[in-house]
Structure 1
């Protein structure tokens, strides 16, 4: 297996590729010379497959649908070299005690189950081509917080899946990596952190420079570069990197501070009032 993957002539599949980071990543891959299968639950009415882009409607929570998407990709382009598991959702802020169980389960089904489904559907093709799978996790996977446990748990599960997958694929001539993003400036982030009053209050606890937002185009460029170099991990913005490495020391300190902070207690109580039945 080569340390670098030349993207020209390769075949990629991107989940959650119709908008946000996914759409920008598809454009970057095509610009680099790859053919791309774009998987999403829905597309704009004027979106159509053309040239080196194949649009496939499918729900990542359905393992059979992901198997069908991989098969369609191989039929159309003759193989599969790259998978970027990007699809994800963020629920409105809520506590563990107050969140609707169906909402929690849906986040896990998309953010973790969807990643597992596309990995299992595509793994044989990736091994056959000596390709690369990149899983999109989040800096939320390794930071303590409040009001977003479903998202954090799902992304922490993706992190562990990616670590195991990297070891297992290396033994059979393929590779895998993880991408951890802080706050990316997408419609999803703006809806969660800017348009939601509780989201704004929670987001206020993220200090500078950790609250710096990464443009979705820059996130896409970094993802494609990580595939090209078969990078084991990508942490962006780079200011999050020390936190990634020293989480074991920093998190107990931060957790203790959050537990004692009266402002945090007020947010938690307000969240539970909001979601009271």
Structure 2
């Protein structure tokens, strides 16, 4: 192991869904290690995130892209000619049984699994040119039922198998594809649990390490997967949950 194993100076990194939460933490982790980082987000400009908790776009390029729209994905300008790391951290979840309805189901599936395929395929050549990495953020919800969120559970399970399929298909092109399956991390997507004391304490009691995961925990795993330290890791989704699913 060398300090240079996690030096990404001059590398090009695109983080989809990198404007806040886990994706933003990953984007800043790569920037701190010298990478050129660009993120895709949902708002019109980076300035629209100013003051938001868990959102720091300092030193990072930004483009608004609707990941639920194939047209938006294909028409967005490419941030780099070659891409060393493509991180999929886009995500959607709908509550109050909205995912049981066709519109809710279609929206969540389009963002959580459809866009992963369409964006990866769009940048295949740019990744191949750099012998790059694709990292897909899924969820431990991929491996068990999530009450009230059938589209979320199905899409995350699909993302795990998509990681396997793309890894097998693209390994010969020099592209490694892997994933991360976090448990509860305190971000805006998990406020429905984190902001309710009873739900929060009940969830915490299931974690052997005795704490929730942090954005930094997930960023560290992403840096590892993109580094030479993980050069022989291919098609895997690493469960990063503090032991919650044991």
Is the pair's TM-score, using the shorter chain for normalization, greater than 0.5?
yes
Larger mean CA deviation between 139-148 and 82-91 belongs to 139-148
The question of 1:173 aligning with 2:174 is answered yes
Q: Which is helix-richer, 1 or 2?
A: 1
Q: Under a length normalisation based on structure 1, what TM-score does the superposition of the two structures give?
A: 0.73
Shift of 1:104: 1.5
Aligned to 1:208: 206
SS in 2 for 1:89: coil
Q: 1:45 aligns with which of 22, 47, 60?
A: 47
Aligned to 1:193: 193
Matches within 5 A, 1:84-99: 84-94=87-97, 99=100
Aligned to 2:237: 233
- Take 1:82 and 1:63, find their aligned partners in 2: how far apart are those partners? 21
The question of 1:60 aligning with 2:67 is answered yes
SS in 2 for 1:83: strand
- Take 1:205 and 1:28, find their aligned partners in 2: how far apart are those partners? 27
The question of 1:80 aligning with 2:69 is answered no
- Take 1:219 and 1:51, find their aligned partners in 2: how far apart are those partners? 20
Shift of 1:144: 2.6
Q: What do the CA deviations read for 1:219-264 (whole angstroms, capped 9, x no partner)?
A: 2222222221254332112414x74xxxxxxxxxxxxxxxxxxxxx
- Take 1:195 and 1:101, find their aligned partners in 2: how far apart are those partners? 29
Shift of 1:145: 3.6
- Take 2:62 and 2:194, find their aligned partners in 1: how far apart are those partners? 31
Matches within 5 A, 1:1-277: 6-42=7-43, 43-45=45-47, 53-69=60-76, 71-74=77-80, 78-94=81-97, 99-190=100-191, 192-195=192-195, 200=199, 204=202, 208-209=206-207, 212-228=211-227, 229-230=230-231, 231=233, 232-240=236-244, 243=246
**How many pairs align?**
229
Equivalent pair of 1:95/1:146 in contact (CA under 8 Å): no
* RMSD over aligned Cα atoms: 2.9
Larger mean CA deviation between 128-137 and 219-228 belongs to 219-228
Identify if the C-alpha distance between structure 1 residues 129 and 184 changes in structure 2 by more than 3 Å, giving closer, same or farther: same
- Take 2:204 and 2:58, find their aligned partners in 1: how far apart are those partners? 43
SS in 2 for 1:170: helix
- Take 2:156 and 2:177, find their aligned partners in 1: how far apart are those partners? 16
Shift of 1:208: 1.6
- Take 2:96 and 2:167, find their aligned partners in 1: how far apart are those partners? 32
Larger mean CA deviation between 203-212 and 215-224 belongs to 203-212
Shift of 1:124: 1.4
- Take 1:30 and 1:82, find their aligned partners in 2: how far apart are those partners? 12
Equivalent pair of 1:67/1:122 in contact (CA under 8 Å): no
Structure 1 gaps, min length 5:
244-277
Structure 2 gaps, min length 5:
51-56
- Take 2:144 and 2:211, find their aligned partners in 1: how far apart are those partners? 16
Q: Under a length normalisation based on structure 2, what TM-score does the superposition of the two structures give?
A: 0.81
Q: What do the CA deviations read for 1:110-169 (whole angstroms, capped 9, x no partner)?
A: 111121121111111111211010111111001134212111001011011101011111
